[in-house]
Amino acid sequence: MVVVGEGDYQGVDLLLELGRQPVDVLVLPVDEDTIPGAISHVFSEHPGITVVGLGKEGRPASLYQLQLQVTEVADVSPTGLVEAIRSAVLEA
């Protein structure tokens, strides 16, 4: 394992830094506001990356990865497709 950089990057600066060289794992501090913002932007630009979010003030760390999920839909009728879509959306 090689540390390729460290710093206090946020927002666009974080994405620019990640674009400078290949990165497999990103470790960063997270709080409730970080998850939808910074991490979703990282995944949109680098879908294969693993993000380790270190919780603040003794909170546990979390590991974030995008993973392809395939679910077979046996009933391809309009009703069956609607049911499969609703089920998938409710699980997400």
Inside any domain, residue 6: no
List beta partners, residue 62: 53
Inside any domain, residue 81: yes
Which structural domain, as residue segments, surrounds residue 85? 11-91
Inside any domain, residue 64: yes
**pLDDT classification of 60: cutoffs 50, 70, 90:** confident
Inside any domain, residue 1: no
Whether the pLDDT of residue 23 is over 90: the answer is no
Inside any domain, residue 23: yes
Q: Angle at CA 20, nearest 5°, toward 18 and 24?
A: 45
The total number of structural domains that make up the chain: 1
Inside any domain, residue 51: yes
CA distance readout (Å), 71 to 47, 77, 89: 20, 16, 12
Task: Indicate the pTM of the whole model.
Answer: 0.65
Whether the pLDDT of residue 82 is over 80: the answer is yes
pLDDT for 81 equals: 93
